[in-house]
Amino acid sequence: MESIAFSLSSPQTFFVALVFTFLSFFLALLAVRSLPFKPKSGGSATDLSTSNKNEKLRACCACNCNDVVSGSDSEPLRAPHLNGGIGPDVTQKTATAITERQTGASMMEQLVPEITTHALSYLDYPSLCRLSMTNSLMRKAANDDNAWKALYHKDFTLEQDGITPVNGWKAYYAATRAIVNVNTEFFNFIRERSLAEMSRLWLNADYVKCVHASGELFSGYNAVMQSWRLAFDWEQGVNFQIRDVRARVLTDMAWVTMKTYFEIDTKPFIVTNVFEFHNGRWYLVHHHSSDMNGEVEQPIVQGQ
């Protein structure tokens, strides 16, 4: 009976062992496939990744007949969009870089000087100064004499088109702006009725002169200061506007002409201020104010 029982149980035991072995092998295979791939130290994974990227790039370029992938200077280098098209900005930047590499000059340097001057004419005085501090190329462009001449005519006047400043238009622009600022301070002192500031603005000399709107002439520093003291004591709340300011600057002398309106409906006064440069600053040496008498000034046209 025992031998018969053993013979009956042997096939069942073998079948159970076979099933268990198959399940173990299957679970081990799943466990191995679920593990992350780790590249060897030889860098084969990097090569594989690079190869895959190159294959994708070739596939994208093959779909577009106009695309050329090249590292040479004679052929354009283009990058595909995600949808298979070509990015114009990438193409333009690449073409610019290739042009600069071939000629040794940037796109700014290749512009015609007239175009550069026209582009810089849209900048104001502070922007042009800041541009000159960016790099050597921008400093060269921002210091261009024609650019400062155009800025002078835009900010001040179309007059003086035919002059040639000794130190260039940039220095002439700076000197003109400085004298215009001093002239503005003169009228601020009148509005504030500040005799102390007015006395510091005038040159302490015996040849300075002042002609007020009343027609009275005062000569010499002390007489001029006395005239302003009387004017500030008499006038109450002077309100006026300054228009049509024109300045001419020489090495150590400058004069400014303008119109002053005490009321918008009344005739303006013609004002002339003459300055002299002493010890690093501008001093007022002559002031003249008179009625315009109904005369109409002709508009200034460049080139006349």
Please give the structure tokens belonging to residue 17: 């062992």
Alpha-carbon span 270 to 226, nearest angstrom: 23
Higher-pLDDT residue of 144 and 61 is 144
Q: Which helix (H) or strand (E) holds 109?
A: helix 107-110
pLDDT, average across residues 225-238: 83
Angle ∠(269,271,274) on CA atoms, nearest 5: 175
pLDDT of residue 5: 43
Q: Is the dihedral of CA 189, 190, 196, 199 positive or negative?
A: positive
Higher-pLDDT residue of 221 and 52 is 221
Percent of the chain with pLDDT over 70: 55
Residue 39 has pLDDT above 80, yes or no: no
Instruction: Share the mean pLDDT of the chain.
Output: 73
Q: In terms of Cα–Cα distance, which of 286, 225, 288, 212 is closest to 253?
A: 286
Alpha-carbon span 97 to 92, nearest angstrom: 9
Q: 264-302: per-residue pLDDT in tens? A: 667 889 999 999 999 999 999 999 999 876 555 544 444
Residue 73 has pLDDT above 50, yes or no: no
Higher-pLDDT residue of 103 and 304 is 103
pLDDT of residue 4: 42
pLDDT class for 175, splitting at 50, 70, 90?
Answer: very high
Residue 301 C-alpha from the chain's centroid = 30
Across-strand partners of 169? none
Across-strand partners of 243? 259
Please give the structure tokens belonging to residue 119: 């582009």
Q: Is the dihedral of CA 109, 113, 115, 118 positive or negative?
A: positive
The CATH number given to 193-291 is: 3.10.450.50
Please give the structure tokens belonging to residue 224: 């001029």
Alpha-carbon span 78 to 218, nearest angstrom: 78
CA dihedral 29→30→32→38, nearest 10 degrees, is 140
Higher-pLDDT residue of 271 and 138 is 271
Please give the structure tokens belonging to residue 287: 């002031």
pLDDT of residue 292: 73
Q: Where are the domains of the chain?
A: 108-155, 193-291
Q: 53-63: per-residue pLDDT in tens? A: 555 444 444 44
Q: Which helix (H) or strand (E) holds 198?
A: helix 195-201
Higher-pLDDT residue of 221 and 109 is 221
Give the other-Cβ count within 10 Å of 133's Cβ: 9
Sorted by sequence, the CB contacts under 8 Å of residue 219 that are 6+ apart come out as 206, 207, 208, 209
Residue 12 has pLDDT above 70, yes or no: no
Contact indicator for 208, 224 with CB cutoff of 8 Å? yes
Give the other-Cβ count within 10 Å of 183's Cβ: 24
Higher-pLDDT residue of 28 and 208 is 208
pLDDT of residue 50: 52
Residue 97 has pLDDT above 90, yes or no: no
pLDDT, average across residues 227-251: 85
DSSP string, 46-60: HHHHHHHHHHHHHHH
